[in-house]
Structure 1
Amino acid sequence: MEFSDNTSPARAVSPRKRGPVELRRAQAGSPQSDAYLLDTQDQTHFTHTDPWRVMRIQSEFVEGFGSLSELGPAVSVFGSARSLPGSAYYKLGEEVGRLLAVEGLAVITGGGPGSMEAANKGAVEADGVSVGLGIELPFETGLNDWVDLGINFRYFFVRKTMFVKYAQGFIVLPGGFGTMDELFEAMTLVQTQKVTSFPIVLIGTAFWTPLLDWVRNTLLAEGMVSAKDLELIHVVDDPAEAVRLIIADSAGHLSP
């Protein structure tokens, strides 16, 4: 196979390997990995490349797995970061955290303010284990003061893995987009059998009923979900009933 004259510079570079990758023609002329490592120019550039991000992602998984592997039975509690101390939703979170701790269950939240702080506070005041899994956000200032075991993550998907991997159920308080994201992801994981024996309980019938009506009247009516999918969640008003359902539906996985 002949190349035109304007390709001769690329043809002059011998093929070479970069680990499992084979480079030919123009690609073979790229700098070697050692050159990137030892080059003193633009030393911060590599920290913004995808290979470096993979290492960061790996380190977050390792840190999360190592920190939570001996946590024991736990329940993830989700809710709004905007619930104010003393408000009805905040008090609801405190009671949920307290009741879970009384049952010997660790409480995992997103570690932020509002309902997350309330659940962590309730767990601590009942001598339970209080966990916060934080995330870099432009409008939050780190883990709340009631977190005893806290991990801050860069990546949402790593954090979400920890919420599911180390909890045997979800309790969901009223919240916004973040709470909805966590709720529907949990429902999807159960629906697709990625996780089993994973109860999901929503607290606040007045808050959740309009959403569930839309699911029934639109998604179910148009065949986007099945009637069985609606059985994935419970809706209650009483925190004690929520904890009871979590324990009952966990099929023994929450035994301390």
Structure 2
Amino acid sequence: MPGNTLNTTVYPKGSLETLSQLEVQQLSEVGSGRTYRLFRQCALAILNTGVQIDNAKTILEAHADFDVRIHQQDRGVCLEMINAPGDAFVDGEMIASTREMLFSALRDIVYSDSDAGRPRTIPDNSQGITEYVFHLLRNARTLRPGVEPNMVVCWGGHSINQAEYKYSKKVGHELGLRGLDICTGCGPGVMKGPMKGATIAHAKQRITEGRYLGLSEPGIIAAEAPNPIVNELVIMPDIEKRLEAFVRVGHGIIIFPGGVGTAEEFLYLLGILLHPDNADLPFPVILTGPVGAAAYLEQIHEFVAATLGAEAQARYQVIIDDPSAVARAMNQGLQKVKEFRREQRDAFHFNWRLKIASEFQLPFDPTHANMASLQLSTSLPKHELAANLRRAFSGIVTGNVKDRGIRMIEQHGPYQIRGEQSIMEPLDALLQAFVAQQRMKLPSGMAYEPCYQVVS
């Protein structure tokens, strides 16, 4: 249930301070339809930062009377907030980080839905989609030409135990001591821990312009509000463009313990790195966690071996319970990235040379029919099998936390995932382990109700 609410007017800070008259007109006309509903949903999630609910349907229903109206001013826009959650304010003033993220969301959603942000025809080829991702990131002022590789992406669970959270903070601290910046999915748990550790380390090293980049998408941000450490928020149009943004702006990736969402991200990354065109491209990847997560890390490692083989395992390191070793290994990997890009005359700020096949870029609609028709066969090339496994996990994430997915499961029952027994058995074992370890249990205290059935 929502707590205190209030009505207020908020002005831009961090984004949208300088607009053309046409842009102001376009924004002020956003009062109905898909774009408005999307922004209202994202705005409500941002205003609920810190609330321990990761179910979009629950948040939307709890704040059914919340509204946001966009008004034109002489030199920009302002937002009128009606029945806004009181936790986003201090003595009637909106918290600065919340205000920045609120207008970042408006910037990204309106840009991607406008003629400026959307190509005349939505690209359906690999190069066109990559160009689209580039333009979205450039509009958000995320790309910093000339800065040497130092952006470390951290993936992991939003609902993890304290030991795993503290470990992610220690790793972030070690990264920060080495002057590295952090990019995460911007929510709680592992998406917050490395950023928090890095802020302390940056302060120790007197680094005043540390970057804490959060990349989200509308369906995720509605369930996982950004953590307040994020100082750059970018909302991509869908999960596939969000994942591409991670690997285009990140120079290396650390994967912490998590659940289905983390497995989806890991499979997406492995599928890209297994493409023959990327065989010689340096991209440091480290799978890590505290000693208490050793069983989880081993299960993931064994699942990769059983489904994608030793070639996939060779694309990452596993380091258990050693934050400084993780940071040193990542730093060494980034040096190789820097040398490679200099030799190839490739940009530091955007990984143009990385080949991403269209099956990793085109949005996957996790309907019951599409989930049931996924090809999970050892006859497929490894990178294509990884793409379909990623789609299976993406559907489970949708059924777990996204409003539309939750409603589809309520209406039609669990998804059915079919494939060869040699793939389905390790997949089923991994998913059951996630449930047993409470890696798919929502923080509401209710027991997890599986949104899927594995059929071999």
> Hey, what does 1:62 align to over in structure 2?
135
Cα deviation digits, residues 146-197 of structure 1 (max 9, x gap): 1111112331122112111111111000011111111111112111144821
**Per the alignment, in what secondary structure is the counterpart of residue 185 of structure 1?**
helix
Q: Give yes or no for contact 2:156–2:257 (8 Å, CA) kept in 1.
A: yes
- Counterpart CA distance in 2 for 1:136 and 1:242 is 32
| Residues paired across the two proteins, number | 203
SS in 2 for 1:174: coil
2: CA distance between counterparts of 1:148 and 1:44? Answer: 29
In 2, the alpha carbon distance for the partners of 1:74 and 1:134 equals: 17
2:284 aligned with 1:199, yes or no? yes
Note the C-alpha offset of 1:229.
Answer: 2.6
Structure 1 CA distance for aligned equivalents of residues 154 and 244 of structure 2? 14
Q: Structure 1 CA distance, aligned partners of 2:182 and 2:318?
A: 20
Matched, 1:184 2:267: yes
Aligned position for 2:211: 129
Larger mean Cα displacement after TM superposition, 88-97 or 64-73:
64-73
Verify: 1:244 aligned to 2:328, yes or no.
Answer: yes
Tell me the amino acid that sits aligned with residue 136 of structure 2.
Answer: E
| Alignment-derived partner of residue 90 in structure 1 | 165
Aligned to 2:354: none
Match of 2:304 in 1: 215
* Preserved contact between residue 57 and residue 158 of structure 1 (Cα < 8 Å): no
Aligned partner of 1:118 among 193, 208, 219: 193
Does the 8 Å CA contact 1:168/1:253 hold for their aligned counterparts?
yes
Structure-to-structure mapping, 1:155-194, within 5 angstroms: 155-192=238-275, 193-194=277-278
The amino acid that maps onto 1:233 is: Y
Does the CA-based 8 Å contact 2:282-2:336 persist in structure 1? no
Q: Which of 62, 80, 83 is equivalent to 2:157?
A: 80
Kindly provide the CA deviation profile for residues 100-126 of structure 1, in whole angstroms up to 9, marking residues without a partner as x. 111111100000011111111112222
Deviation at 1:57, TM superposition (A): 5.5
Return the offset for 1:201. 0.4
One-letter amino acid of the structure 2 residue matched with residue 209 of structure 1: E
Q: CA, structure 1 residues 184+54, in 2 after alignment: closer, same or farther (shift >3 Å)?
A: farther
Q: Which SS does the other structure have where 1:96 is aligned?
A: helix
Does structure 2 conserve the Cα–Cα contact (< 8 Å) formed by 1:123 and 1:129? no
Report the Cα offset of residue 209 of structure 1. 0.4
Matched, 1:101 2:190: no
Amino acid at match of 1:103: R
1:137 to partner: Cα distance:
3.1
Q: Residue 337 of structure 2 aligns to a residue in which SS?
A: coil
Match of 1:231 among 314, 317, 338: 314
- Mean Cα deviation higher: 204-213 or 105-114: 204-213
Q: Distance in 2 between matches of 1:181 and 1:151?
A: 20
Change (3 A) 1:70 1:44: same
Q: Could you report, residue by residue, the CA deviation over 1:202-226 in whole angstroms, capped at 9, with x for unpaired residues? A: 013332102222333x33xxxxx45
What's the % identity of the aligned pairs?
A: 24
Q: Distance in 1 between matches of 2:35 and 2:257?
A: 41
Task: Check whether the contact 2:183–2:212 (CA below 8 A) recurs between aligned residues.
Answer: yes
Could you tell me which residue of structure 2 aligns to residue 32 of structure 1?
none
Structure 1 residues 172, 68: closer, same or farther in 2, change over 3 A? Answer: same
> 2:172, 2:196 within 8 Å by CA — same for their partners in 1?
yes
Please give the TM-score of this superposition, normalised by the length of structure 2. Answer: 0.40
Structure 1 residues 214, 140: CA separation in 2 closer, same or farther (over 3 Å shift)?
A: closer
Shift of 1:254: 5.4
Please give the alpha-carbon distance, in whole angstroms, between the structure 1 residues aligned to 2:34 and 2:234: 26
Give the superposed CA RMSD: 3.0
CA distance in 1, matches of 2:286, 2:179: 18
Q: Contact between 1:100 and 1:106, CA under 8 Å: does it hold in 2?
A: yes
TM-score between both structures, scaled by the size of structure 1: 0.69
Q: In the alignment, which of 230, 238, 241 is matched to residue 147 of structure 1?
A: 230
The residue type equivalent to 1:236 in the other structure is: I
Q: CA deviation at 1:136?
A: 2.0
In 2 relative to 1, CA 229–45 (structure 1 residues): closer, same or farther, beyond 3 Å? closer
Unaligned runs of 5+ in 1: 1-42, 220-224
In structure 2, distance between residues paired with 1:130 and 1:46: 27
- Residue 254 to residue 92, structure 1, CA distance change in 2 (3 Å): farther
1:46/1:161 CA distance change after superposition, 3 Å: closer
SS at match of 1:186: helix
The separation in 2 between residues aligned to 1:54 and 1:184, in whole angstroms, is 32
**Partners of 1:229 and 1:60 in 2: how far apart?**
26
CA contact under 8 A between 1:132 and 1:151: conserved in structure 2? Answer: yes
